[in-house]
């Protein structure tokens, strides 16, 4: 990794996908406070620019890129731009992904088109972006990759079979890539948030939120900053001996 300039991530180039809102935005602001240079990717150009403007108050350099991470050519172009403008990537946070949302259903009445979309946006984007940074990280003997999974991969929530399958795929990908890259000084870990107050929760009724809260041993719904702090830890030097792990951030709802 690059020499530290200031802060825990000073002098390092970090890429965050799905950076416009929620956990991605919170992590961008946390990385900025920790001194990283940022490349922020998201489809929502307006919200992405707002995040970039907020991050720029603390970060050394911020490069917002409106990119569809399901488009391989667009991803390749974005990472080429990052390399030209910011330099080699030290940290990749594969945050982009989503459930079927309004098309979610129990599996017996689901359809293959929806499965393919969820697998593409929640698993393939992670693999695609990782492929862009792994060769250089491997060659120089350092790097951090943090992948977004979910508690649902372990808990198995009804109506989320496709999402759970995609995100358990992220867990398997994380473990295999971590084992492959460990001899080269690169760590790869997954985070698995549970009930976190994001836009997805805004779509839920108060009754559903109450049921979710009641299922959490700690008794409350987490905030994006609760996840961003964990990502920042995994991206930093204190996590140098942690790799191949899937860390649940869910108030104790699922205990391994």
Q: What is the pLDDT of residue 130?
A: 98
Domain assignment present for 5: no
Domain assignment present for 120: yes
Domain assignment present for 254: no
Q: How confident is the model at residue 114 (pLDDT cuts 50, 70, 90)?
A: confident
Percentage of the chain modeled with pLDDT above 70: 92
Q: What is the pLDDT of residue 7?
A: 61
Q: Assign residue 230 the CATH number of its domain.
A: 3.40.50.720
What domain range is 72 assigned to? 13-249
Phi/psi at 253 (nearest 5 deg)? Answer: -65, -40
Alpha carbon distances (Å) from 165 to 51, 128, 154 = 30, 18, 10
Total structural domains within the chain: 1
Average pLDDT of the segment spanning 107-131: 90
Domain assignment present for 244: yes
Task: Tell which wins on pLDDT, 45 or 109.
Answer: 45
- Say what the pTM is: 0.93
Domain assignment present for 225: yes
Domain assignment present for 27: yes
Q: What is the pLDDT of residue 104?
A: 65
Domain assignment present for 138: yes
Q: What is the pLDDT of residue 167?
A: 95
Domain assignment present for 8: no
Catalytic positions, written as ranges: 163
pLDDT tens-digit profile of 49-65? 999 999 999 878 999 99
Provide the edge-to-edge strand list for the sheet that holds 143-148.
62-66, 37-42, 13-17, 91-94, 143-148, 186-193, 246-249
Q: Which residues of 14-37 are buried (b: 16+ CB within 10 A; e: fewer)?
A: bbbbbbbbbbbbbbbbbbbbbbbb
Could you write out the DSSP letters of every residue in 133-197?
Answer: HHHHHHHHT-EEEEEE--THHHH--TT-HHHHHHHHHHHHHHHHHHHHHGGGTEEEEEEEE-SB-
């Amino acid at each position: 990794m690059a020499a530290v300039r200031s802060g825990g991530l000073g002098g390092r180039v970090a890429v965050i996908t799905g950076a416009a809102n929620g956990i991605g935005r919170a992590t961008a602001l946390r990385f900025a406070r920790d001194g990283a240079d940022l490349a922020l990717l998201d489809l929502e150009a307006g919200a992405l620019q707002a995040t970039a403007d907020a991050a720029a108050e603390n970060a050394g350099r911020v490069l917002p890129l409106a990119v569809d991470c399901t488009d391989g050519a667009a991803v390749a172009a974005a990472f080429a731009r990052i390399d030209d403008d910011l330099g080699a990537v030290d940290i990749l946070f594969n945050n982009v992904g989503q459930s079927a949302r309004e098309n979610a259903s129990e599996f017996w009445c689901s359809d293959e088109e929806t499965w393919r979309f969820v697998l593409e946006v929640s698993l393939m984007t992670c693999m695609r972006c990782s492929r862009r940074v792994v060769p250089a990280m491997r060659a120089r003997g350092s790097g951090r990759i943090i992948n977004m999974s979910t508690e649902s991969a372990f808990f198995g929530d009804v109506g989320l079979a496709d999402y759970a399958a995609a995100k358990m795929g992220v867990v398997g990908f994380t473990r295999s890539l971590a084992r492959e890259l460990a001899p080269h000084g690169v760590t790869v870990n997954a985070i698995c948030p549970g009930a976190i107050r994001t836009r997805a929760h805004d779509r839920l009724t108060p009754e559903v939120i109450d049921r979710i809260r009641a299922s959490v041993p700690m008794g409350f719904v987490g905030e994006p900053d609760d996840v961003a702090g964990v990502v920042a830890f995994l991206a930093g030097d204190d996590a140098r001996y942690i790799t191949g792990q899937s860390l649940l951030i869910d108030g104790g709802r699922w205990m391994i």
